[in-house]
Structure 1
């Protein structure tokens, strides 16, 4: 199987240096932010201030290797393995539900045990696998894209399969996030609008039912609309986060000088790490943060839209959307703009599964960019 294609083309493909630099800047800033946000927590609970940072550095190393492999791999060769890739990802999601293999935390079965203390979260891998499958199937069936049975039904079934598997892990927010991102690829593939109307008719009441089926989801929604309803319960984390963000002012308190991160914001090293960054970097730092993500998004979409085939265009747009929309959703949660979810901040939040998959996705986006640059030489 041909894996790398640089020599076959007869020229040296050009890299998108702005995109690559932005990815590594986000990774570096994320590591520094995690160091500052997690040191006190690590010292308090693990007697080791560098506990989270040391682990994240190891994950970053694995992620960087994955990034470079993904940025040079022949996507056409990998595409031939789409069926086993989907099957393996689905099995991993299923394993997370099995006693003895899966690991639970706070009532959620989202992880697979690795060794004595390691875990892997398969739902993170779905953020790559599902867009890859959808890009493959829609580009392959462009001649019958609007046929319900042969064109629309297969991708719907795979999307629903992953939605159900992740929902059963008690991870509704990620399941819904992936479904919405899948709809973006459905839209870009060019299917009829009537299918989206049908999807809205089905998904809106279904989502409402699923939200109201769990007490903790109801509490989050009520706390969103009535912040003072449960100040020490569902609304406490977001309320504390807002105080942390507001205390940063224009210039911030400086790296390591934030105080709200010390036992004030639960899980500040994970889903709420942006509140620590905002406190220490201030408004100026937040603007620079947005600037980095905007550059990443613009360069990523630019590469995808100028790719030389439908598969790469759909895949690139889908993957850029996954990372960018996840960042926006996380910030919206941390700033109280939407009800609380468990979606991490790409490149920043503590967690090996998220960082490795994010860098793997970024590598594929660079791969698509390089393909586009090479095709115009």
Structure 2
């Protein structure tokens, strides 16, 4: 296998790329607006934080472009090695002297002054592995020991490594993504029910095992009981949303970013968007995400091979769940948890991880001439610019024709 030359590839999907560029452009404005005062006090340079962000954005786009140029069949071939590297890095970050501890959590590597989180590699690695297993061995899924059990072992190891760091938010995100992939991939409902019956109590024990998690849960339900402690951040976030109203105070005119709401340019940037741009700004932002996610689902539905379908679905689910956790925590609908808004919140590692996910999706879109559903009318172009005549030269392997077609059951 080799990387195909770019002149033989379909162009990147314009809808997806356009949505990502809109989100990143919006992010530059909001990161600058929310970080200028913090950067002035902390670094004596009002452009320090947004300047770093302007370096991360092109780096993330380059990563996305490189991954989109790789032959999509490679991801199936290297699923196990990439998963092994991801788990190895998750172990390495816990080793004293290798990993870096920030705010009581040891989740980062420090490299040339930059911090990198190995969980951002683990997410796509687990997604590709799950898609590889269900796409390559559909006959095994009917039996628990040969179907769900091996995938459950991989997820459990990943969750244990995340909980040791600790990173409860990424654990929830990865669990939700895998469960949806299993459902669509054809894992029997009875096996999923059995897994949930044992998994939910363990998740509850993990939540109450640490005092700070219990504190977050109680402050989420009643933040005013401790307005200057555990409930402070949520209260300030709710004040920001409330003061913004429908039209907002205006770009750059927010007050909560002036040291009332800590680190507002990262996990709580949605609160500042609500304050400065109001309900209209939030709805516009959600509309862009809706177009991006809908386009991803459409692309998944076009695939004949279950492997490609599940990779696209897993990547889009990962972004969707992260968005829901971010907005839910900021609005008081979910317990407070550090989770960046995809493509909008400041965070170099998170952005690189998000671009890796979209790079996988675009890789399949650009190399999928032999895996698109055949149109009835010869010569009619599909959504990625290929024709039925083009696809005649790229026959799908026979196995793909008999794989379960599970995604349609969701619609």
Counterpart in the other structure of 1:99: 96
Cα distance in 2 between the residues matched to 1:195 and 1:5: 43
Residue 349, structure 1, aligned to residue 345, structure 2 = yes
Q: Work out which of the residue numbers 101, 104, 109 in structure 1 matches 2:106.
A: 109
Measured against aligned partners, the alpha-carbon deviations of 1:295-324 in whole angstroms (never above 9, x if no partner) come to 001001100111131111011011101101
Aligned to 1:247, the other structure's residue is in SS state helix
Q: Tell me how far 1:147 sits from its aligned partner.
A: 2.2
Q: Report if aligned partners of 1:5, 1:74 keep a CA contact under 8 Å in 2.
A: no
Counterpart in the other structure of 1:272: 268
Cα distance in 2 between the residues matched to 1:187 and 1:287: 30
Cα distance in 1 between the residues matched to 2:140 and 2:12: 35
Residue 48, structure 1, aligned to residue 30, structure 2 = no
Q: Tell me how far 1:375 sits from its aligned partner.
A: 6.5
Q: Work out which of the residue numbers 133, 153, 160 in structure 2 matches 1:157.
A: 153
Residue 121, structure 1, aligned to residue 117, structure 2 = yes
Counterpart in the other structure of 1:333: 329
Counterpart in the other structure of 1:4: 4
Counterpart in the other structure of 2:293: 297
Aligned to 2:352, the other structure's residue is in SS state helix
Counterpart in the other structure of 1:140: 136
Aligned to 1:146, the other structure's residue is in SS state coil
Counterpart in the other structure of 1:260: 256
Cα 1:146–1:69 change in 2 (3 A) is same
Cα distance in 2 between the residues matched to 1:12 and 1:159: 34
Cα distance in 2 between the residues matched to 1:78 and 1:139: 12
Aligned to 1:112, the other structure's residue is in SS state strand
TM-score (normalised: structure 1): 0.95
Unmatched runs of 5 consecutive residues or more in structure 2: 373-383, 391-411
Q: Report if aligned partners of 1:323, 1:346 keep a CA contact under 8 Å in 2.
A: yes
Q: Report if aligned partners of 1:278, 1:286 keep a CA contact under 8 Å in 2.
A: yes
Cα distance in 1 between the residues matched to 2:144 and 2:4: 36
Counterpart in the other structure of 1:324: 320
Unmatched runs of 5 consecutive residues or more in structure 1: none
CA RMSD for the aligned pairs?
A: 1.5
Cα distance in 2 between the residues matched to 1:78 and 1:314: 12
Q: Report if aligned partners of 2:144, 2:191 keep a CA contact under 8 Å in 1.
A: no
Counterpart in the other structure of 1:240: 236
Aligned to 2:177, the other structure's residue is in SS state helix
Aligned residue pairs total 373
Q: Tell me how far 1:5 sits from its aligned partner.
A: 6.4
Aligned to 2:263, the other structure's residue is in SS state coil
Cα distance in 1 between the residues matched to 2:364 and 2:84: 24
Q: Tell me how far 1:328 sits from its aligned partner.
A: 1.3
Cα distance in 2 between the residues matched to 1:169 and 1:12: 40
Cα distance in 1 between the residues matched to 2:9 and 2:122: 32
Cα distance in 1 between the residues matched to 2:145 and 2:338: 35
Q: Tell me how far 1:6 sits from its aligned partner.
A: 6.0
Q: Report if aligned partners of 1:307, 1:369 keep a CA contact under 8 Å in 2.
A: no
Cα distance in 2 between the residues matched to 1:203 and 1:78: 29
Cα distance in 1 between the residues matched to 2:147 and 2:193: 17
Q: Tell me how far 1:148 sits from its aligned partner.
A: 2.3
TM-score (normalised: structure 2): 0.87
Counterpart in the other structure of 1:194: 190
Residue 62, structure 1, aligned to residue 94, structure 2 = no
Q: Highest Rg: 1 or 2?
A: 2
Measured against aligned partners, the alpha-carbon deviations of 1:68-101 in whole angstroms (never above 9, x if no partner) come to 1122211202321112111111111111111111
* Mean CA deviation greater in 118-127 or 361-370: 361-370
Counterpart in the other structure of 2:20: 23
